[in-house]
Structure 1
Amino acid sequence: MPHTAGALHRLRPYEPDRDRSALLDPGTPLALDLPPGPQASANRPGPPPDVRQLRAVLNLILEVRAGHRPAHQLRTAVHPRLYRLLSEETPTAKVRYTLKTVHGCRVAPHAVEACGTAHSQGRAYALVARFEQTSQGWRCTFFHLIRPRAKPRA
């Protein structure tokens, strides 16, 4: 075919396995050599924690941070890394937080993010947390209580 600028040309017919298709019996199922799939029970996400469960864990974390509960009560509710951070943290001078609002959103099959407000001494504080499904169940892997920045002294 001579090449002319700007003209469209018909392509030659193409079937990649035209010769091999005669070897396949249409009534025989194809056996695909795929790697084994994930374990159904181990990798299938379970139901996410509901707002009541999120509230219970967040309230527990706030009480531990304030020194009203011992840190060992967090062991089954939070990831070991977060447990270590919270148990090493100095309590916040016996401040009592009241958890007002909690919202949760499933952001991935194995992750839920939560946000809310905690009130103390007439002030409202925002809090954020992330829960991930582990082999032991849903655990809090991240927690942050957002406080206002300290004003610089003049």
Structure 2
Amino acid sequence: MCILDSLHSTLLDDTDLYLVSLLQPLADRSDNLSDVEIEKLPLRLQYYEGTRVKSLQLREKLIDALYQLCNTRHSREHLRKRGVYGILRELDRSMENDEQNSTPTCIGGDGDGVKLKLLTSQQHSTLHTLIGILICDEDDISNDSDFKSNTIT
């Protein structure tokens, strides 16, 4: 649904229901957000007491959906205004900590470890690109931006 630019303003309305549904699984009560960052978040995510979803596949889908929303200027500005950067920054930090403390989760393959795809490396690529987009000035982003999914199928 995010891919259709015409739906972005409907999806990112003032209720922020869609945005909260994308961000809540990526947020964690231990996220180190400043007071200013917390105030920007949708109300349901301010002082969030839940935990971040563990599923790497779900994280990948949520990050990809947020990335697709960056296809329009209106959506990028809305994501910035709602403090999405802070949540994504903390997600990135937690993923780096997870990788240092454990073996990356692999999917695919033939049982012998052949042709395994590291989901975390693809996730990081899209996540880092998304963070870069959100911290850029709008003037630095070309008007004909075309943000295609980075997901490998």
With the length of structure 2 as denominator, give the TM-score of the two structures. Answer: 0.25
Larger relative contact order, structure 1 or 2 (CA cutoff 8 Å, min sep 6): 2
Greater fraction helix: 2
Q: TM-score, normalised by structure 1?
A: 0.25
